[in-house]
Amino acid sequence: MTDIKKLLAELELEAVNPGACTGEWIEPSERNELVSKNPSNGQPIASVIQADADAYEQVVEAAQASFATWRMMPAPARGEIVRELGNELRKYKDPLGRLVSLEMGKILSEGLGEVQEMIDMCDFAVGLSRQLYGPNMTSERPRHRMYEQWHPLGVVGIVTAFNFPVAVWAWNAALAAVCGDTMIWKPSSSTPLTAVAVQNISNKIMDRHGLSGVFNLVIGPGRSVGERMINDSRVPLISFTGSTRMGRHVAEATATRFGRSILELGGNNAIIVEPDAKLDLVLRAVLFAAVGTAGQRCTSLRRLFLHSSIADGVIEKLVKAYGSITSGDPLDESTLMGPLVNESAVEEHFAAIEKAKEQGGEVLIGGGRPDKPGNFVEPTIIKCSEHIPIACDETFAPILYVFTYDELEEAITVHNSVAQGLSSAIFTSSVYSAETFLSHEGSDCGIANVNIGTSGAEIGGAFGGEKETGGGREAGSDAWKAYMRRQTCTINWSTELPLAQGVKFDVE
Ligand code: UN1
């Protein structure tokens, strides 16, 4: 049993916490309390006073003011501060991982993994702080030099979802910080305490350097605080993780004011299993991707395409494995699946199962609600003889739709027929099948794996997807470029003024 009081104290959380911070915590004048509840039993953990318009204003002003000095600090010096943040997170990995599990409901190993993802991101950003490169181009004009450089962008708004309450902040914050941006984090209202805990940790580092206003926090409702931020022209970039419906709204709001957005929206991820696949790997990958995090990852496996020659055997083994999944307290080390985030997620889970049945799907296992308090559901497998309409929707729950196919090309066509395009995978030993899946006529997703499930990506790659997933890229590779502005510079060191394209424009 986790001693909740002790855990909160370790992370410097109170029973009631202020919900806005610039380094200094801000007490809003109105007392609008948000109670964070444990999704495993519905019990309150602690609460946060939500930010009001005044608190938001103070935070934006602080973020803008600190941008003026932060951007002038050499990037490797900013990297040094991010290195310290990574080290501090190493110290707090255990309690912070526990709090993620307690408040969000993912199992402890995944809660700890999420903090590790933050640490990895800090390490990555430290290296990057010496590599914010721009290329040199060869000029067509004599004694001219042309090159590209990158400048910090300004204040970045980071809107995160409940399912990765801290890692997705780190994807954005570590990059934005080394790029010279300051930022405002609006976490999900379902996970305010983890955000306060992370802010406490970053405050320690910034205090050490006499800095504030770089990492800022506003906790408050999307309809007031979130709306204010996405429409605020003082915030040139909004990085948004959440539903496709909200993402469309964010895209419109930012585009109207010529702001930028990074969108990480819904997925509808699938695995294709070829006849020559190593089935023991398939089984483990499917279980982790479909049942892990109770199906509440953007990368969770929702659709499984089995070649008809191996389908019956795989289904039989999967059903057996599902039967032995233990659900319960995510902090108990024997638990494999925790609860869903709230009661409406439970309702959506059952509504999707009902629709699937109406559309001809056959529930092979699951479909029920365990007899215990909390937002628990049974992980569910639904066999479908065709690609039914409900399989085109993303339901944030542990429901797996299973289909059979005969030709790989046919499976890829159906695979790509959904509106979302985040993560995808094929299991095969054949170079032909793997390369077909990875080719221009293969998977249309932002992430395409071979013999690895759809979830659990490393931070080193760019993370994100196509179509209704929003097109954004975060974390590794060159995702940092979205947090900076590009400048093309041409320098003439000759005594002439030749014009490009051979244009003559001389006065007598
Ligand atoms: C998300 O679900 O929003 O690839 C992020 C993964 C994790 C990140 C998921 N590294 O499953």
The response to whether residue 154 sits with its C-beta less than 6 Å from ligand 1 reads: no
The response to whether residue 269 sits with its C-beta less than 6 Å from ligand 1 reads: no
The response to whether residue 298 sits with its C-beta less than 6 Å from ligand 1 reads: yes
Q: Is the pLDDT of residue 487 over 80?
A: yes
Mean predicted confidence (pLDDT) in 197-203: 98
Instruction: Tell me which of 271, 422, 455, 469 to substitute to probe ligand 1's pocket, judged by most ligand atoms within 8 Å of the beta carbon.
Output: 455
pLDDT cut 70: percent of the chain above it: 100
Q: What secondary structure letter does DSSP report for 498?
A: P
DSSP of 116-180, one letter per residue?
A: HHHHHHHHHHHHHTT-----EE--SSTTEEEEEEEEE--EEEEE--SSSTTHHHHHHHHHHHHTT
Average pLDDT, the chain: 97
Instruction: Supply the pLDDT for residue 508.
Output: 79
The count of C-alpha atoms lying within 13 angstroms of the C-alpha of 223, restricted to the half-sphere facing its C-beta, is 0
Burial group, residue 282, by CB count within 10 angstroms (0-12, 13-18, 19+):
buried
Tell me how far apart the alpha carbons of residues 105 and 406 are, in angstroms, rounded to a whole number.
Answer: 39
Q: How far is the CA of 338 from the centre of ligand 1 (A)?
A: 17
Model confidence band, residue 507 (pLDDT cutoffs 50, 70, 90): confident
Instruction: Supply the pLDDT for residue 406.
Output: 98
Q: pTM for the whole thing?
A: 0.97
Instruction: Supply the pLDDT for residue 202.
Output: 98
Instruction: List Cα–Cα distances, 415 to 166, 357, 441, in angstroms.
Output: 31, 21, 12
Query: In this predicted model, what pLDDT tens digit does every residue of 326-355 receive, in sequence order?
Result: 999 999 999 999 999 999 999 999 999 999
Q: How far is the CA of 298 from the centre of ligand 1 (A)?
A: 6
Q: Is the pLDDT of residue 182 over 80?
A: yes
Query: Is 122 annotated in the active site?
Result: no
Instruction: Supply the pLDDT for residue 28.
Output: 77
DSSP of 285-305, one letter per residue?
A: HHHHHHHGGGG-STT-EEEEE
Please determine whether the domains at 4-265+470-487 and 269-459 fall in the same fold group of CATH. Answer: no
* CB-CB neighbours of 64 under 10 Å: 15
Q: How far is the CA of 455 from the centre of ligand 1 (A)?
A: 6
What is the atom index within ligand 1 of the atom nearest the CA of 455?
11
List the one residue out of 455, 113, 108 whose CA is nearest residue 286: 455
Query: Is 298 annotated in the active site?
Result: yes
The response to whether residue 446 sits with its C-beta less than 6 Å from ligand 1 reads: no
Q: How far is the CA of 263 from the centre of ligand 1 (A)?
A: 14
22-25 own/partner pairs: CB under 8 Å, 24+ apart? 22/58, 22/59, 22/62, 22/63, 22/212, 22/213, 22/216, 23/62, 23/203, 23/206, 23/207, 23/211, 23/212, 23/213, 23/214, 23/215, 23/216, 24/212
What is the atom index within ligand 1 of the atom nearest the CA of 264?
3
What is the atom index within ligand 1 of the atom nearest the CA of 459?
10
- Give the fold, CATH level 3, of 4-265+470-487: Aldehyde Dehydrogenase; Chain A, domain 1 (3.40.605)
Query: In this predicted model, what pLDDT tens digit does every residue of 212-246 receive, in sequence order?
Result: 999 999 999 998 999 999 999 999 999 999 999 99
Locate the domains of the chain by residue range: 4-265+470-487, 269-459
Tell me how far apart the alpha carbons of residues 392 and 16 are, in angstroms, rounded to a whole number.
Answer: 42
Query: In this predicted model, what pLDDT tens digit does every residue of 72-102 receive, in sequence order?
Result: 999 999 999 999 999 999 999 999 999 999 9
Q: Is the pLDDT of residue 1 over 80?
A: no
Residue from 114, 264, 378, 468 carrying the catalytic annotation: 264
Instruction: Supply the pLDDT for residue 31.
Output: 86
Residue from 122, 298, 384, 445 carrying the catalytic annotation: 298
Residue 229 gets the label, from left (phi > 0), alpha (psi -120 to 50) or beta, of alpha
Tell me how far apart the alpha carbons of residues 460 and 477 are, in angstroms, rounded to a whole number.
Answer: 6
The response to whether residue 456 sits with its C-beta less than 6 Å from ligand 1 reads: yes
Instruction: Tell me which of 299, 452, 459 to substitute to probe ligand 1's pocket, judged by most ligand atoms within 8 Å of the beta carbon.
Output: 299
What is the atom index within ligand 1 of the atom nearest the CA of 241?
3
Q: How far is the CA of 114 from the centre of ligand 1 (A)?
A: 9
* Residue bearing the CA closest to ligand 1, atom 6: 456
Query: In this predicted model, what pLDDT tens digit does every residue of 353-408 receive, in sequence order?
Result: 999 999 999 999 999 999 999 999 999 999 999 999 999 999 999 999 999 999 99
Q: How far is the CA of 300 from the centre of ligand 1 (A)?
A: 8
Instruction: Tell me which of 463, 469, 473 to substitute to probe ligand 1's pocket, judged by most ligand atoms within 8 Å of the beta carbon.
Output: 463
Query: 327 phi and psi, to 5 degrees?
Result: -115, 155
Q: How far is the CA of 418 from the centre of ligand 1 (A)?
A: 20
What is the atom index within ligand 1 of the atom nearest the CA of 267?
2
Tell me how far apart the alpha carbons of residues 17 and 26 are, in angstroms, rounded to a whole number.
Answer: 10
Query: In this predicted model, what pLDDT tens digit does every residue of 13-72 receive, in sequence order?
Result: 999 999 999 999 998 777 899 999 999 999 999 999 999 999 999 999 999 999 999 999
> Is the domain 269-459 a CATH 3.40.309.10 member?
yes
Tell me how far apart the alpha carbons of residues 157 and 263 are, in angstroms, rounded to a whole number.
Answer: 12
